[in-house]
Amino acid sequence: GAVVSQHPSRVICKSGTSVKIECRSLDFQATTMFWYRQFPKQSLMLMATSNEGSKATYEQGVEKDKFLINHASLTLSTLTVTSAHPEDSSFYICSARRSSGGNTDTQYFGPGTRLTVL
Amino acid sequence: EDQVTQSPEALRLQEGESSSLNCSYTVSGLRGLFWYRQDPGKGPEFLFTLYSAGEEKEKERLKATLTKKESFLHITAPKPEDSATYLCAAAPSGFQKLVFGTGTRLLVSP
């Protein structure tokens, strides 16, 4: 168990458009999900913590209005990159923690979404 | 400030050549220490969670250990398929988020 999926796996868009990335916990409920971005050969950078039914908590330096996060259910969180620009091109990865039943400390990661903005 | 440091940055081994990866941490009250494996272009894959000094966990050729300041990931008789980046992360007490190290890139040659 503890499978997390992301959709899409790759997306290419034009500058100025918005892109939505979905993160789903497939076999467990997740009150808390996390969104990261990762640049080549670097470690993960936490962007925001997403809590079901409440507003996300953003890390310092992350623009709330640009990276919209919605966690509408216990199995789904979405990240929308609004008015994307080439500098937003990156690898976006989500993770989820179990709400209950088993290891509730471990973050399980999705496969990632490669965003390319032209 | 909470911090996690991994060494070496990169490690090249011959198949069958055992070695260890190091993860040093300074966090305010460790709640848990996590090891992940990440292949290129993929999300991290969970390996182990360690909670207290002296704890050890094993999975196939990997064994993770924990002291009050460090964690080690021992790789016994590695195979080429063990090639990946290994990430260590610490969770401070009362945590919501993990503090990640920069990872060790392991390459195992046949």
The yes-or-no verdict on residue B96 having pLDDT over 80 is no
Please check the confidence at residue A52 and state whether its pLDDT lies above 90: no
* Residue B24: predicted pLDDT: 98
Mean pLDDT of A85-94: 96
Gap from A49 CA to chain B (nearest CA, Å) = 8
The pLDDT of residue A53: 85
Contact B43, A93 (CB under 8 A): yes
Cα nearest neighbour of B34 on chain A: A106
> Regarding predicted confidence, which is higher, B53 or A42?
B53
pLDDT at B88 (0 to 100): 97
Q: Which of A30-39, A97-106, B27-36 has the lowest mean pLDDT?
A: A97-106
pLDDT score, position A31: 87
Residue of A nearest to B101 (CA): A43
Q: How confident is the model at residue A54 (pLDDT cuts 50, 70, 90)?
A: confident
On whether the CB atoms of residues A89 and A115 are closer than 8 A, the answer is yes
pLDDT at A41: 83
The residue-averaged pLDDT of B46-72 equals 96
* Segment B51-74 mean pLDDT: 96
b (16+ CB within 10 A) / e for B65-92: bbeeeebbbebeebeeebbbbbbbbbbb
Q: Output the CA–CA distances (angstroms, integers) from residue B96 to A29, A117, B3, B6, B31, in the order listed.
A: 17, 31, 15, 22, 11
pLDDT of residue A98: 87
**Which chain B residues have a beta carbon less than 8 Å from that of A111?**
42-43
The position carrying tokens 């009050």 is B68
Is A57 in the B-facing interface, judged by CB distances under 8 Å? yes
Structure token pair of residue A75: 């199995």
* Cα–Cα distance for residue pair B93/B16, rounded to 1 Å: 38
**What is the reported pLDDT for A103?**
76
- Assign A22 a pLDDT band (cuts: 50, 70, 90): very high
